[in-house]
Structure 1
């Protein structure tokens, strides 16, 4: 009973260790990272209270990975990848809302990884997944289209764009918040040379009235800039690839089109996405543009982030903006791997420590001091003792045998009826085949290795070790999903 309790006490210690590790990695450290982020307070000259500021959370490129993201990847590994990325985004997003409580949230495109090529059925399934992560409400705006949402340039498909607009809102739209115009511009479509694709965006841009209010421009594709311009110290990559191109992708709007957009809108500040990395520059004419980092851990950047914007338009328009770094991804995975190895070592050590009680001869007499005789060191003595006991039992049975009738030989005896007669249940056929196999060279090798493996497993309690590791792993996975994944949604 003591040994039974001790096993469960050891398992309980490990389980509590894992629960603490999960809490630290999945909750506490995520909260700690985001708790360092604060709204940049904007104060007026005669009012030191910044409570009148409007706080806007800007999120770029969640780009939820799907079945098309990693072609050829194993289905199980792909499912695990989707789960890991979704969980990372969801837990950080929940903490952002809880800690910062933004007044409005704007997304800067590439909501899904393959919205541009997916069927309606597939799109709706991915949309449900997106909604489970971000839980849309009326203070959230998703209507800035990205190249992964509708394509880019001549690759834009009008029916796909129409589907995007019916789901997330008009791709070209002016939203006024506290006297400030947030202008969403469909840069993937306006970059097309096909009039059917670009007509709507060009008309929207040309029909914009003269600027009478502060304006903030929101687009997915960054505007063109001098390739030699520095993006500032917060950028991970060495430089901004202005002319980068790919499948339905371009890293910046053409130079002339960029000038037209800035001249027509005259934005106080522009926020873009697409590049996945941070970039803060000022265009000719004093137009500032910030490219917002991706919120996802799967976009090839070590430090995912979001952008915080605070503005006031009480007396005059003033704004300030800061980057908010999220919990660095993969650190939790590394910690879990280390803890799993340590847990395995602990379980193995415990089994190694207790193996002696399974490989010793223990007296069954009720003595005060129990004497353990190691089997390995005393096997010959034990075998001799067993043989002597067998001989004594044999002589006792022989003395009790009943003589046969006088007609039989005087030295012939019969067994008493009380002794059971044992028979083999195995068929002679199978027994014969097994005997023949055992006598072969392969059979002898099989028997020898089988015994060696069995003795090795018993010597180090490896069977018990494997069972306990399996039990422990199942419990840990259950705790993680029930306590730290399901509770996110």
Structure 2
């Protein structure tokens, strides 16, 4: 049976080479080809002479705040898995689509609002390594990171002013207008805007209140979606059935208040709104304000760890003279977790193949039959037992019942049950351990497990090195 599955390799090295080739091919597909294929399926909308903008929401780099019960190696593995997913897919998007601008919609990190400066600096370096360092996009020019999220600074009266100041110093001023191809992009700190405390909300509300007459098309960028009727459908591209409009809790609220939302639309008069925070997709048209119907698109999270099956980004193509002509569509990333499942399957298959090969190479003493017993557990036949019992009976007849004195030179004979050894109880436990040790040794040798463990460790080390040096460091 084993020969059906395992070819007759001259040495383990031939099997190792073949398995490494399979692993390299698997890594190449999942780490390079699949992300590139997903990105190539995304096409910019057909707009004449367009400016192309890639909109990214909620990367929210995970940490122990994301998974409170995970520490040590398990948290490190989770972070690596998500970070690698983000990096390879983001790189594939930029390589394939070559957007003119990249705009983030907040929640860059998962717990920036409560973190120390040292912790934030470390997490920011992670963010840079994934989204900034390798690419020709300059922050504040064609890379906009200055729309804050509730995980960046907090929400409402819970906004952490120190975290907000740190966000501004790191990612740029909030509550600003950036003009791109004759279209004004309004980046709003909707978290502070939602606060009741004047010392928190005054800057954002002053910004909204100071907006002048509209001379160019406008696009509003807000992390938190604006208020909407809970009965409104988000469209067929949403994974969950509906958006929980009334949802709120510690440091978050799913929608802005109705009156604040109305004031935003009334003052800024946006042609279209892009938001994040919800992690899932939503495309609605708000009820008319001053006769103006405004479309809002809530962009899906780019992360595989945000409770959605299919992470995505949003593509926006537009041109403008006096009116805005635009089109936008969703762009799905590589389907997550398929690579993880395949790696686990291949690891199990690799282990089984190495085990079967080693069993095939086991010592000949375990591969032939013998008339002699192989262990001390040999059980005699019925005839052998009868003969043994007969001989014992004859021995007992020849031995006297007790000591007999014949003369001065006589001696005593003792039966086997006339004394006991003090060490009998201790030797019993020792015999048990000895038998267990012998059984384990026989089992390990019988199935050739020591070479199996050695070969598995060698192969595992090579696979990890190929993955890390060939597919992670080269991203």
**Fold-level match, TM-score > 0.5?**
yes
How far off is 1:69 after superposition?
A: 2.0
- Which of 282, 300, 303 is the matching residue for 2:307? 300
Give yes or no for contact 1:438–1:444 (8 Å, CA) kept in 2: no
**Aligned partners of 2:9, 2:224: CA distance in 1, in Å?**
64
Partner SS state of residue 221, structure 1: coil
Deviations 1:287-319 (A, max 9, x none): 000000000111011100000000011574200
Correspondences of 1:103-142 after superposition (within 5 Å): 103-135=100-132, 137=138, 138-142=141-145
Deviations 1:75-94 (A, max 9, x none): 21111111111111000000
Partner SS state of residue 474, structure 2: helix
Give yes or no for contact 1:115–1:149 (8 Å, CA) kept in 2: yes
- Which of 288, 296, 302 is the matching residue for 1:289? 296
Give yes or no for contact 1:438–1:447 (8 Å, CA) kept in 2: no
Deviations 1:158-203 (A, max 9, x none): 2221111111111100000110000101110010000010000011
How far off is 1:344 after superposition?
A: 1.2
**Aligned partners of 2:370, 2:20: CA distance in 1, in Å?**
38
Give yes or no for contact 1:437–1:443 (8 Å, CA) kept in 2: no
Correspondences of 1:50-449 after superposition (within 5 Å): 52-135=49-132, 137=138, 138-285=141-288, 286-314=293-321, 316-355=323-362, 358-360=363-365, 376-377=369-370, 379=372, 440-449=427-436
Distance 1:315-1:344 versus aligned 2 partners, 3 A rule: same
- Which of 24, 28, 32 is the matching residue for 1:27? 32
Deviations 1:454-480 (A, max 9, x none): 111111111111111111111111111
Deviations 1:419-447 (A, max 9, x none): xxxxxxxxxxxxxxxxx799611111111
For these two proteins, the number of residue pairs brought into alignment is 411
How far off is 1:130 after superposition?
A: 0.7
**Aligned partners of 1:458, 1:437: CA distance in 2, in Å?**
31
The equivalent residue for 1:393 is: none
Partner SS state of residue 89, structure 1: helix
Distance 1:438-1:446 versus aligned 2 partners, 3 A rule: farther
The equivalent residue for 1:461 is: 448
**Aligned partners of 1:157, 1:345: CA distance in 2, in Å?**
54
The equivalent residue for 2:17 is: 12
Moved more, 131-140 or 292-301: 131-140
Partner SS state of residue 215, structure 2: coil
Distance 1:103-1:480 versus aligned 2 partners, 3 A rule: same
- TM-score when scaled to structure 2? 0.84
- TM-score when scaled to structure 1? 0.81
